[in-house]
Structure 1
Amino acid sequence: MEPLGISNYRLAKAIGVSETAVGEIIKGKRGISVAMAHRLGKALNTSAEFWMNLQRDYEIFTFDPSTVENIQPLVPQQPLVTE
């Protein structure tokens, strides 16, 4: 938000949430909900989908796959079909 010259306080007031909520999102301590994605989209002239995609990408990037290593497949892997 620095390149846009928008402070956490200004954004929080514009979208009707606390400055703490904005700060926690920026620090990666709070996720972006659908409602927040819509608020950010309106305030920053982007789409809600943009913000939801950022949230999804962040969750994939920060997820530790070793936490699900003990799961055995229930369905055999399907071969790749090339045409």
Structure 2
Amino acid sequence: MKLTRRASLFLLAFAVWTWLIWPNFMVNIAKDVRAFTDSGAPTTFFTVHLVLVLTSLALGTVIGVIGWRGFRADRAARKTD
């Protein structure tokens, strides 16, 4: 499958957006009073959100790699034309 330049750039933008938003979200969750018990142990609230953030970052990374490869392939194809 060949990605267009536009689709590749969209995927790259999505990956950058993901890496800008989710770490900040995790910092905010960690500051929430519901994140840890009085003894400092993580709560279910924190654990669920941590899994959500890690999954989103993993998917964002994969999407970024796909976008980067598509962009490079498009650039190479334009050079040969």
Q: What's the TM-score, normalizing by structure 2? A: 0.32
TM-score normalised over the length of structure 1 = 0.31
Structure with higher RCO (Cα < 8 A, 6+ apart):
2
Which is richer in helix?
A: 2
